[in-house]
Structure 1
Amino acid sequence: MKDFWENVSRYPRYFITFTLGIFFSIFGWLKPLLKNPVSAIALLGIVLGGGVFVLLTLRGMLGLGGV
């Protein structure tokens, strides 16, 4: 039974490592775009627009308020 819990305890560490690896690779890919002010503003607009899109979609799907 000890081996079972030891194995289960590895999954959160794997998930955190996997998620951080994805974020670091995406940030490394987008880092050159942040050097140019025009592309940095465009990137910020895309990120904010995507966040608002997800927020409004979830509110509409869950019926949390008028859209």
Structure 2
Amino acid sequence: LCESTLNNTESSSYRYLILDPHYTGPLGNIKIITEKGWCGWKLQSFWKSNVHYNLCLLPPIRSNRV
């Protein structure tokens, strides 16, 4: 995300689903995964302009296609 995206007030209501690939705990323990923040919906304030992020962005989903 660039500085202009972080400061865009129009996107302040967006949420980002973050799935952290660095999780190494037991499989299927959803409680730990969500409570410790390995997976969850993050607000715009989660992103910091002075931090580098590696992102995998999925294409938009269209209602008539899967």
Compute the TM-score of the two structures, normalised by the length of structure 1. 0.25
Q: Return the structure number with greater helix share.
A: 1
Q: Which has the larger radius of gyration?
A: 1
Q: Return the structure number with greater strand share.
A: 2
Compute the TM-score of the two structures, normalised by the length of structure 2. 0.25
